[in-house]
Amino acid sequence: MLLLAVALSTPVLAQSFLGTIRGAVTDPQGAAVSGAAVLVVDEATGIPRAVDTDSEGRYEAANLRPGSYRIEVTTPKFKKFERTGVVLRAAGTSRVDAKLELGAVTESVTVSAEALNNITLDSGAIARGLDEQQLHDLPRNSRDIQSFLLLNPNVLGGFDDIQFLGGRSYGVSYIQDGQASTNAIFGTVGNSAPGLDAIAEVQVLSNSYSAEYGGLAGVLVTTKRGGNGYRGTAFYDFNSNGLNALTYNQKLGLDAEDLAGLRSDPNSDTHQHRWGVSLGGPIKSGKTFFYANYEGSNDKAIFGGGRATVPTAAMRAGDFRGTAINPRDPLTGVAFPGQVIPSNRIDPLAVKIMDFFYPLPNRGTISNGYGIYQQFVPETRNRNRGDVRFDHEATKNDSIFLRGSYQHYDPNNITFEGGNALTNLKIQNRKLDTASAVGGWTKILSSTTVNEFRVGYNYDKTSRQSVYSNAEVRAQLGLESPPSISPGRLGYPSFQFTAGS
């Protein structure tokens, strides 16, 4: 996907995560100060952007990367004005007005903090965001950015996906570092989202935002950048089995002695290991910067647990005595004497097929004579993901960035071939592999003209495959080889029986 945007003292035309700092410069009497030199400095990298005020004392620095900035205003006969800690959000606008004081340029007035104002004066957009510190501190069980979206009052968890403003997620624009990352089929956030420690900010645009984003709502994700100082993080989380309560279904029908043994049962063991490391800093101070992040997890949880109605061992041998079932002879239509099918009338192949799909009961029988089968199966899922970003200031008017992300999740979900009740059957082979790459070049042509060139690529592959092969099932059941299906063909076996007349 290729995106090209040109800014002429107006917001960019394509979906962008870059922001704008603007304001007005006045003298002590409130009159406009024209021709004042305004320096907008990125506090992380020290990279400056120089603009001048116009005839009405206004200035604007567009296409700035999200972050913290310092604003300096200098002009003859007035003290130097300096404002630090100006936070610019993704695709946001920050206003910094400067009221100059008479004095020498060598003197300065520094504003390091002002009262927090949550009202955005230069945009009618209704937006709510989470910064790096909030993403780190807020208690969430998941390290996926999608779960943090639910903290927004305009976002709800739906039965099929998250819902924005009471509607489905279809039509929502997901932008990651300016690159569209919307799932092409269902309109949901792409699986190639960066790792949590690689994200600097998340913005949810709910209403009255710029038409460049379109759709029902907009979600902007911005990754972290390296700066002139090195910074890094490392973490390790461990959730042991002793902290996890047994589920209701696990305890159902068990006495105190059985429950005591269940806690130490290896089939009830669960745990979760999560680890990660990140590092960012300068490759060449004031010129080239990097930020890299890696996360991994090993999650063992309990799956299955559905209750399946299955035939008992007596039923499989043709004995239906004591049940409500009266088997009939398919040749004559007359019920078998004593509710028992003679052994010579039972096809061994049919018994093999029945045993293949339906296990013997392990939870007793019900009133109609059938048995109940229920089993809980512990399975482990492994996940690894990484992100790397490079920012380079080629000249004072040219800045370039590149960011790449990769994820491997195996398995990404646990799905039994026969559903959550028939856990005797195998588990499907499910994997998730994602990758994304985005690059941008911002060119300052003049104090009022900025060109932004951006290119990106998303890769999202979810595989879901049966593990049963034609040759394996045929050998296990003693069937003839179907002429139209190759021996290595994978798929869940199915059979169709036709009753005799």
Question: What pLDDT does residue 404 have?
Answer: 95
178 pLDDT band (50/70/90 cuts)?
confident
**Residue holding tokens 């429950």?**
259
Check whether 117 has a pLDDT greater than 60.
Answer: no
4 pLDDT band (50/70/90 cuts)?
very low
Record the tokens describing residue 170, joined without a space: 């279809």
26 pLDDT band (50/70/90 cuts)?
very high
Superfamily of the domain at 126-223: TonB-dependent receptor, plug domain (2.170.130.10)
Lowest average pLDDT, out of 64-73, 110-119, 395-404, 471-480, goes to 110-119
Q: What percent of the chain has pLDDT over 70?
A: 82
Q: What's the pLDDT tens digit per position in 76-115?
A: 989 999 999 998 888 788 899 999 998 887 777 777 755 5
294, 408 Cβ separation under 8 angstroms: no
Question: What pLDDT does residue 158 have?
Answer: 58
HSE toward the beta carbon, residue 382, CA cutoff 13 A: 1
Question: What pLDDT does residue 218 have?
Answer: 75
- What is Dmax (Cα atoms) for the chain? 115
Where do the DSSP E strands lie in 318-415?
371-373, 376-395, 398-410
Question: What pLDDT does residue 361 have?
Answer: 94
Q: In CATH terms, is domain 2-111 a member of 2.60.40.1120? A: yes
Taking the CB of residue 125, how many other CB atoms lie within 10 A of it?
18
What HEC string does 152-204 produce? CCCEEECCCCEEECCECCCCCEEEECCEECECCCCCCECCCCCCHHHEEEEEE
Check whether 375 has a pLDDT greater than 80.
Answer: yes
Check whether 439 has a pLDDT greater than 90.
Answer: yes
- d(CA 107, CA 105) in angstroms, rounded, equals 5
33, 75 Cβ separation under 8 angstroms: yes
Ordered by start, the domain boundaries in the chain are: 2-111, 126-223, 231-306+376-465, 308-373
360 pLDDT band (50/70/90 cuts)?
very high
217 pLDDT band (50/70/90 cuts)?
low
Alpha helix segments (H runs only) across 236-347: 248-251, 256-263, 313-316
